Structure 1
Amino acid sequence: MNSRYVGYICCALAMIGVGSTVVVSKSIAAGLPPFSATALRFAIAFPLFVLVMRWRGVRWPRLDRRDTALVIAQAAAGSVGYTVLLISGMKFASAGDAGVIAGTLPAVSAMVAMLALGERPSPALLGAIVLATAGVLACTVYAGDNAAPHAGGSIVGNLLVFAAIVCEALFILLNRKLRTPVAPLPLSALMCGIGFAVSIVPACFERAWNMPIDAAALGGVLYYALVPTVAGFVLWYEGAARVSGAEAGLMTALVPVSALALAALLLREPVSAAQLTGVACVLGAVMLATFGQSLGARKMA
């Protein structure tokens, strides 16, 4: 099979896995406290990443104090903050709404860089931010019109999910501030190890061991750790090595689509016109963010 097609398939599977985290977080939220679920996720994933590092002969990076602090902040925001807020939000939000919001990551990352670093975005990125905002508002307005938040229409839940996406955007921003570049594999291992250390203390206060065992929630955490976290890493970087950055970035459009489809198929959630509108806006935002960056890079070259 053509190497480029293999790259497309790997990146697509990785992004479908990311979309599935929204759905599986619904079952996790129903049976486990957020910090306990987060600590368990990293406790499973970390040793697997260490084994992959040893298998590939990859060494741990040597970081100075500044970069060490940045890596810890990355783990606190992008690993712990994202997972805890996503699981907390899924107690109230529908998986479909959360999937649409999760798809705004490229636009949110551009917005965070603009606000935090004073970067001047291109017209394409500004358009992406506007479209992504419209997509989130479509779901949020739909949520506000529902009188049954337990059915999935919760503004609070949507805000928590959006806060999770902001945490992931901060992760990307902080990674750009590292003086010593860290390869993806050791960085993923560090995120899991530090994430476990950060989340285990608040997890102890949740006393999850006193709660009845919820097989669905535990199975959800196991899936989260093995498929989107570990397998997703392998698939994404195998695929990204075979295609261009713009092509890989465009595959993030599969996140809201897969989340909405899986929510309908597995959770039997109804798909609303507002959610379809939100997906359309987010897909447009992803394409603008991806091709806008690509065109900007070509002009500078």
Structure 2
Amino acid sequence: MTRKQQGYIYLTLAMTTVGSTVIASKLISAGLPPFTATALRFAVAFPCFMLLMRLTGGRLPKLSRHDWIILVIQAAAGSVGYTTLLISGLSMTSAANAGVIIGTLPVVSAGISILLLRERPDRFLLLAIGLAAAGVFSIVLAPGAGGGSLRGDIVIFGAVLCEGLFILLNKRLKTEIAPLVQSTLMTAIGFCAAAIPAVFESHAFPTASSAALLSVVYYALVPTVAGFMLWYAGAERVSGAEASLFTAIAPVSAVIFAFLLLGEPVGLHQIAGIGCVLAAVLGLALNGRRRRPA
């Protein structure tokens, strides 16, 4: 097996774990409040990241006040905002719908860059945005189908916007931070940010279900820690353009898991939605690959 083929396997596994977070979040939403679950996720993941830093010799660089502010906002939006909104949304809508919506992340991130960074879009990017929008509308305009709800779908899209903001803010950092160090910081800051509101929501769920607690541990250890290791092990073996293609696996695996593990029906509107989202993500990645040599 070649080094590149190993990279493809690692990236596939990494994005499959990302898709599985939708299922884990669906189970968590039935047994734990969102901020409590998010704080527990980071509490479990943080020691693992600290151990990885110790084993690899990772060190925190000297950061300016500007970078610390960016990191705190990133953790609040991408770590806490994304997780809590995903869990909250899945208490109202289906995992299959959520899988389609989170698949729009690469395109949403590009759209945010256009709006906030004034980046000039080309026709391929505009086409990708249009396809992703069509994919989302295909499920939003079918309220109640397959257990989905418009309100829940909107909350899930809010989670995607938070993650898109996280990616945008990463471009604003003045100091280069190693991915492992940044992930460790995100879990630490995210825990602090989620723990405060978690104290005030504990009355909503006096007793947590075992399925929810196990799902939190799974979310922390597999998609968060193992998914991180798999992604970067794969990304160092292939080009950036090739790695970006594998993001399309996440929404597909989420929809498949929703059908196989949760028994959710997958209708034509969801199949059409995932098709549009896949076309948008793959088109965006291939366009980036085409432009890079120039």
* Corresponding residue number in structure 2 for 1:275: 270
Question: Whole-Å Cα distance in 2 between the matches of residues 26 and 102 of structure 1?
Answer: 14
Q: Report how far residue 47 of structure 1 moved.
A: 1.0
* 1:83 to 2:83 alignment: yes
* Corresponding residue number in structure 1 for 2:61: 61
CA RMSD of aligned residues (A): 1.2
Aligned residue identity for 1:41: R
Q: SS in structure 2 opposite 1:113?
A: helix
* 1:125 to 2:120 alignment: no
Q: SS in structure 2 opposite 1:280?
A: helix
Question: Whole-Å Cα distance in 1 between the matches of residues 205 and 251 of structure 2?
Answer: 35
Question: Whole-Å Cα distance in 1 between the matches of residues 161 and 80 of structure 2?
Answer: 13
* Corresponding residue number in structure 1 for 2:251: 256
Q: Percent identical across equivalent pairs? A: 55
Question: Whole-Å Cα distance in 1 between the matches of residues 194 and 121 of structure 2?
Answer: 35
The answer to whether the 8 A contact 1:22-1:259 is kept is yes
Aligned residue identity for 2:46: F
Q: 2:219 aligns with which of 224, 247, 250?
A: 224
Question: Whole-Å Cα distance in 1 between the matches of residues 41 and 133 of structure 2?
Answer: 30
Question: Whole-Å Cα distance in 2 between the matches of residues 9 and 61 of structure 1?
Answer: 32
* Corresponding residue number in structure 2 for 1:189: 184
Q: SS in structure 1 opposite 2:91?
A: coil
The answer to whether the 8 A contact 2:75-2:189 is kept is yes
Change in 2 beyond 3 A, CA 1:70/1:272? same
Question: Whole-Å Cα distance in 2 between the matches of residues 66 and 152 of structure 1?
Answer: 44
Q: SS in structure 2 opposite 1:274?
A: helix
Q: SS in structure 1 opposite 2:292?
A: helix
The answer to whether the 8 A contact 2:33-2:204 is kept is no
Question: Whole-Å Cα distance in 1 between the matches of residues 185 and 278 of structure 2?
Answer: 31
Question: Whole-Å Cα distance in 2 between the matches of residues 61 and 220 of structure 1?
Answer: 33
Q: SS in structure 2 opposite 1:60?
A: coil
The answer to whether the 8 A contact 1:32-1:208 is kept is no
Could you tell me the TM-score, scaled by structure 2's length? 0.98
Q: Report how far residue 154 of structure 1 moved.
A: 0.5
Change in 2 beyond 3 A, CA 1:126/1:210? closer
Q: 2:174 aligns with which of 176, 179, 186?
A: 179
Q: Which runs of 5+ in 2 are unaligned?
A: none
Q: SS in structure 2 opposite 1:35?
A: helix
Aligned residue identity for 2:282: M
Q: For 1:1-301, what aligned pairs fall within 5 Å after superposition?
A: 1-142=1-142, 144=143, 146=144, 152-207=147-202, 211-299=206-294
The answer to whether the 8 A contact 2:33-2:205 is kept is no
Q: SS in structure 2 opposite 1:59?
A: coil
